């Protein structure tokens, strides 16, 4: 029989990843849009690079968990189109997150400092490739932000209509 909610590991991975992604998106755009004082801008950038690099193993674990522990059946959408859109939306969130993480690492023009505890070498040196992945990161971040906006909007609308979707994702 299919479970009635997401497993505890999947819920914990969902909410911890959501926190990091929401923070990295909001602070990343704030950093790009406003002329923050140099040390604050550099501090946010260094912190976000370390935090989101550490999200990569968490993201891989999340994919493994999603494959090993199927979620509940779609008990919310009556029609096939609604069920398809919900599944496609979740898959798109995974694909966009992967694109953002990979392009972020590949655009790095310096070694990746992990909170002063370890450092990963800069993966690419060729300036044309760095520019290319910078542009991919920019566009992938935009797509991810739009998808997350749609996702949160859909969750709120379902809750509003009495579909208890948040309870399915309770850790």
Task: Assess 32 for contact with ligand HEM (CB under 6 A).
Answer: yes
Residue 52: Cβ within 10 Å count: 20
Q: DSSP string of 119-160?
A: EEPPS---HHHHHHHHHHHHHHHHHHHHHHHHHHHHHHHHHH
Contact letters for ligand HEM, residues 65-104 (x by CB under 6 A): -x----x------------------x--xx--x--xx--x
Number of residues that bind ligand HEM (CB under 6 A): 42
CA distance 113 to 51: 10
Chain residues that interact with ligand HEM, rule: CB under 6 A: 10, 14, 17-18, 21-22, 24-25, 28-29, 31-32, 45, 48-49, 52-53, 55, 66, 71, 90, 93-94, 97, 100-101, 104-105, 108, 112, 137-138, 141, 144, 148, 151-152, 155, 165-166, 168-169
């Amino acid at each position: 029989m299919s479970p009635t909610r997401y497993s505890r590991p999947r819920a914990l991975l969902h909410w911890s990843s959501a926190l990091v992604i929401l923070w990295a998106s909001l602070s990343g755009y704030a950093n790009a849009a406003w002329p923050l004082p140099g040390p604050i801008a550099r501090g946010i950038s260094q912190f976000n690079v370390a935090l989101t690099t550490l999200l990569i193993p968490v993201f891989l674990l999340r994919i493994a968990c999603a494959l090993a522990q199927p979620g509940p059946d779609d008990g919310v959408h009556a029609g096939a189109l609604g069920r398809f859109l919900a599944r496609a939306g979740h898959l798109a969130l995974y694909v966009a997150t992967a694109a953002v993480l990979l392009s972020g690492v590949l655009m790095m023009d310096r070694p990746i400092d992990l909170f002063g505890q370890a450092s990963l070498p800069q993966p690419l040196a060729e300036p044309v490739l760095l520019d290319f992945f910078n542009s991919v990161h920019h566009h992938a971040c935009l797509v991810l932000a739009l998808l997350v906006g749609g996702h949160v909007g859909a969750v709120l609308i379902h809750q509003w209509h009495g579909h208890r979707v948040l309870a399915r994702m309770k850790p």
